[in-house]
Homo-oligomer: A and B are copies of this chain.
Amino acid sequence: MALIVQKYGGTSVGSTARIQAVADKIIRDKTQGHSMVVVVSAMSGETNRLIDLAKAITDSPSDREYDVLVSTGEQVTISLLCMALETKGHAARSYTGGQVRILTDDAHSKARIEKIEDEKIHADLAAGRVVVVAGFQGITEQGHITTLGRGGSDTTAVALAAALKADECQIYTDVDGVYTTDPRVVSNARRLDSLSFEEMLEMASLGSKVLQIRSVEFASKYNVPLRVLSSFTEGGGTLIVSEDKVMEKALISGIAFSRDEAQLTLQGVPDRPGLAYHILDLIAKANIEVDMIVQNTSVAGDTTDFTFTVHRNDYKKAFTIVEQAAHTLGIAKVSGDNKIVKVSIVGIGMRSHAGIASKMFKTLSDEGINIRMISTSEIKVSVVLSEKYLELAVRALHDAFDLA
């Protein structure tokens, strides 16, 4: 007798047949006595079809009208899913973001949810209806339609779960849970039964595509238990909860990696205050995100070395900016490499156990893998390596930390 919010992505509702299958899943859970609120994305392909229509008219549509256009995708899905539920004998009612009144700020196409009105939904649930809500969209106080940015349906689901004080938010997707690492790289990667919000955030920010980072942040902030499940296979999925509720307290939960990295190194940088800020400011103004930043302590003399990483797509642009600035700033040499990767071990167990990092470095060293950069957080150690070592490093670490 729980209140469950479920979210089905574009592939899960990609055809009318799949929408019927989703209706069956919902009915199965409802028949067990649960109150059901369901968030859906646009049918797969639909958002791209709409964007193509806009592109035929202009390369730079206004944000406001873009949101009016693409928000129709989810509106189609909510009505079709309600029709399927009703045809199968279950009362249902659809809501656009504006109809619920999912209030957002006015940052069109990347809006943030500010408030959700829950009266209508509670009334429908009390009347025994399944409530189906369009993901990814909201409305401003002034009544303009907004979207939360691509993939934002996860965030809608979590925000609704928080507003409705749901017992669980279930994200149905095309994978059946969160794994210790990518099963395409390590064949004996294992599905985790549960992990903490903090670990999931590190995994997500390190390239795991299972969940949107913002939705995990939201779930963590409002302490909404989040479950990742497959739309296409049965199984309990992976439950993401606050740290004190994680059953399985492993030292290391998983190994995340990202292939899309590039590094820039500035050698012979005059060691004076504000220089690092000045360089990173130039990069930020070009809308390039900087990931890792490493600066060695200036030991001998008055210059230091300074290295940072960016997304591989931004490498050329960043290199040009830094090279242009180098002369003015008195930097001796700029070098770079866009064939690097980042590999990270993530686990809340790290907090209480020393020696995790050194075990990682030893494992890599035993395989003859040179570490370029190191960065650590409370529950994560990341290293930058040459691209060619990626698979070897991930497999070796997966074995070394007994994750299989």
Instruction: List residues of A whose CB falls within 8 A of some B CB.
Output: 16-17, 19-20, 50, 53-54, 56-58, 60-62, 64-66, 68-69, 71-72, 75-76, 78-80, 82-84, 86-87, 92-94, 96, 98-99, 120, 143, 145
Contacts and interface: CB of A to CB of B under 8 A. Distances in A.
Nearest to A70: B79
Contacts of A84: 57-58
Contact of A93 (B64, B76, B87, B120): B64
A68 B78 contact: yes
Nearest to A71: B75
A16 B49 CA distance: 13
A86 B78 CA distance: 30
B80 A53 contact: yes
Ranked nearest first, the 4 interchain pairs of A and B with the lowest CB-CB distance are A69-B79, A16-B56, A72-B72, A68-B79
B80 A19 contact: no
Contacts of A75: 68-69, 71-72, 75
A66 B79 contact: yes
B53 A65 contact: no
Contacts of A58: 83-84, 86-87
A80 B54 contact: yes
A154 to B, nearest CB: 22
15 contacts: A16-B53, A16-B56, A20-B57, A54-B83, A57-B80, A57-B83, A58-B86, A61-B79, A61-B86, A62-B82, A65-B92, A68-B96, A72-B76, A75-B75, A120-B143
- Of A54, A61, A83, chain B has the most CB atoms within 10 Å of the CB of A83
Nearest to A23: B57
A82 B61 CA distance: 9
A83 B99 contact: no
Contact of A50 (B54, B76, B86, B92): B76
A68 B94 contact: yes
Contacts of A80: 53-54, 57, 65, 69
A65 B87 contact: no
Contacts of A57: 16, 19-20, 80, 83-84, 87
A143 B121 CA distance: 13
B83 A61 contact: yes
A87 to B, nearest CB: 4
A57 B21 CA distance: 11
Contacts of A56: 16-17
Contacts of A60: 87
B76 A53 contact: yes
Contact of A98 (B62, B65, B98): B98
A32 to B, nearest CB: 24
A220 to B, nearest CB: 32
A65 B86 contact: yes
Nearest to A91: B62
Contacts of A65: 79-80, 82-83, 86, 92, 94
